[in-house]
Structure 1
Amino acid sequence: MKKFKWTALFIVIMSLIWMVGCTSKGNLNEESQLEKPNTVEKLRLKVGVMPAVDSAPIFVAAKNSYFEELGLDVDVQIYMNAMNRQSALQSGELDGAMTDVIALVNNVQNGFDIKVTTSTDGSFPILVRKDFEEKKDIKVGLMEVSVVNYLADEFLIEEYSMDKIFINEIPARLEMINQGQIDMAVLPEPVASQGELMGLEKRIYNSKDEFSPEIMVFTGDAIKNKEKEIELFHKAYNKAVEEIRKDENIARDILIQELKLNPEVKDKIALPEYNKARVPSKEYIEKIISWNEKVLGKKIDLKYEELVEGKFVK
């Protein structure tokens, strides 16, 4: 009888242990299932672009969900003023931004940790005011330490003596030349073609450089902590370039849509040849550094490796 009681008690105890174990395991599985979605963080980037043709691949990648297909959420912000874009980049509001090599050199020289991860492809015609009569001395609207100042020297310095009027905001530059307050202005496409619709003359000059001064930069913090995101960004960028190469009207249409342009400007836009992600050469960077030294009147002691991060284009 005692033996029967002990056997029954043993069975009851083992049954309770088994039930507790199953319940605990079930609770753990439920908790794991509840926690699992929270452990998967979406990859995100916030980038700033300018109202320029080199923004087209980024717009196309966003519209066609190329970023999304790779699991990347990209917030694209459009800036009309390069100074505002620069402030957003320096304050940490942006992970990366479209800028130019001239600004890159100046920023890194002043201690701002950014690097170019790819060149972009821009187009910068010269707009000429209405009823302009050819003369040696001209007033030119541009931004001081920027691509448009560099290109004004490249395109106009042999033909004209320039009085450079510094106007940071692109719409303000367009308005001043439209009102005849300046003789010429260096403006990015497709804004330049908007001016052409207004009756201004558009002159297109071909650059002798292999690379466009326009670039995409990311902050040192983003390159360190968002390497995967930046890698995917460039992958989607390349896919968009492939699409544009098949039909350049894809770029024209997306620029009109995103920048809210007059549709009549479509066939006037001077598009560049779009290249897949690539970094500018050492020789080109050194040329820009020399120009910066001349404009700023000071020595710039920077190495190529301090300005360029090439691992995203390999």
Structure 2
Amino acid sequence: MKKWIISSLSTLLLATSSLMTISVEAAQALRFGAMPATDSVPVLWAVEKGYFEEAGLTVEIVPFTNALNRITAMQTGNIDADVEGLNEFLNLVQQDAEFGKIITTTNDNFQLVAAKDYQKEDDKEIVVGSLLNSVIHYLTLTYFESHSGGFREEYIPEIPVRIQMLQQKQIDMAILPEPIASTAAMQGLTKERLKFDENPNAIIFKQSYLKDNEAAVEAFLKGYNRAIDDLQDVENIEAAKKLLVSKFELPEALLEHIDFPEFEASALPTEAYIQHLQDWLAKEFDQTFDRLYKDVVYEH
């Protein structure tokens, strides 16, 4: 009888241990909302190469082609992390202090796309296709504010419509992310990469996920930075372009046009840049934006 009790107890302990292991692994799983943009590439690469798994983290890529749908998925808890414009994130976190935290900035690639045969004139107003309350809106206002002839934004939610309006010369210019800008270049429009002092996008983790999965951040960054190391190699860059095109079922002809940024190791935005964006938002929306740096970044 004692042997049976001991044996049964051992079996129960083993089963409990297995359940605990499964529970921990399940809690570590991360649903990452990804857009067809170059700043998603390190995450896609790390998943493809198994770097997250080796670090102890399961990452599920949830694809989106619409930024508003992606943000809604974050707000409703259908995904745990994504890439967001920092101005968009600060707007969201001002409304909900528990929304999320910045894990790292990303290496973005935004291109200035011009209508066919368009010639910029210093004293003439520029009509720019944009998206209200987005990173594109912020970049448009800050880039064109110095134009002496002034500019006017046309808010066009759908990017394909913006490209169509550029083709038809209904708007003069638009700032578009890669590889979307390259689809415009394939249609005969010109593109020019924009450069910024600091990256305007970042990877955001939901606060609710962070509370239960603090160890996941270290695992994520370990896999992410291994991908960054790989992406210093020219051959890997070409393979990564194919991966991006494949994952989002983009035209293969894009491979000749896609312009990748220089990928850099994970880093948090500076406190000065966060303050700059909050000051800009306060002026833009005529309301207070006063989140502390420590409350919006996940320091690691």
Question: Number of residues paired by the alignment?
Answer: 290
Equivalent-residue separation in structure 2 for 1:34 and 1:134 (angstroms)? 70
Per-residue CA deviations over 1:1-48 (Å, capped at 9, x if unaligned) read xxxxxxxxxxxxxxxxxxx11122122223333443222122201111
Query: Which stretch of the first structure deviates more once superposed, 260-269 or 141-150?
Result: 260-269
TM-score under structure 1 normalisation? 0.86
Percent identity reads: 30
Q: Does 1:219 align with 2:200?
A: no
Q: Does structure 1 residue 83 correspond to structure 2 residue 48?
A: no
1:140 aligned onto 2:134: no
Cα 1:154/1:250, change in 2 over 3 Å: farther
Q: Partner of 1:308 in structure 2?
A: 297
Deviation readout 1:169-195 (Å, 9 max, x if unpaired): 333333333343322111100110111
Equivalences for residues 1-314 of structure 1 within 5 A? 20-41=1-22, 42=25, 43-113=28-98, 114-135=100-121, 136-159=124-147, 160-207=149-196, 209=197, 211-247=198-234, 248-311=237-300
Task: Please give the secondary structure, in 2, of the residue aligned with 1:40.
Answer: helix
Q: Once the 2 structures are TM-superposed, how far is the Cα of residue 112 of structure 1 from its aligned partner?
A: 4.6
Q: For 1:94, what is the secondary structure of its paired residue?
A: coil
Runs of 4+ in 1 over 6 A off after TM superposition: none
Aligned partners of 1:80 and 1:171 also within 8 Å: no
TM-score of the two chains, using structure 2 as the length reference: 0.90
> CA deviation digits over 1:261-291, x for unaligned, max 9?
2223224222212111110001111111122
Amino acid at match of 1:280: P
In the aligned structure 1, how far is the partner of 2:168 from the partner of 2:287?
Answer: 36
Q: Which runs of 5+ in 1 are unaligned?
A: 1-19
Shift of residue 146 of structure 1? 2.0
Structure 2 unaligned segments of length 5 or more: list them. none
CA distance in 1, matches of 2:179, 2:271: 29
C-alpha distance in 2, partners of 1:304/1:30? 50
The residue identity in structure 2 corresponding to 1:255 is L
Counterpart Cα distance in 2 of 1:181 and 1:35:
65
Q: Deviations over 1:216-267 (max 9, x none)?
A: 1112111111111222111100100000012332332222222222223224
Secondary structure at the counterpart of residue 125 of structure 1: strand
Q: Which has the larger radius of gyration?
A: 1
The letter for the 2-side match of 1:107 is L
SS in 1 for 2:177: coil
Report the Cα distance in structure 1 between the residues aligned to 2:112 and 2:31, rounded to whole angstroms. Answer: 31
Alpha-carbon separation, structure 2, partners of 1:305 and 1:170: 35
Q: Shift in Å at residue 205 of structure 1?
A: 2.7
Give the whole-Å Cα distance in 1 for the aligned partners of 2:192 and 2:266.
28
In 1, are the aligned partners of 2:109 and 2:194 still within 8 Å (CA)? no
Partners of 1:80 and 1:170 within 8 A in 2: no
1 CA distance for matches of 2:159 and 2:62? 16
Partner SS, residue 263 of structure 2: coil
Query: CA separation in 2, counterparts of 1:147 and 1:98?
Result: 11
Cα distance change of structure 1 residues 251 and 157 upon mapping to structure 2, 3 Å threshold: farther
CA RMSD of aligned residues (A): 1.8
In structure 2, what is the Cα distance between the partners aligned to 1:301 and 1:23? Answer: 64
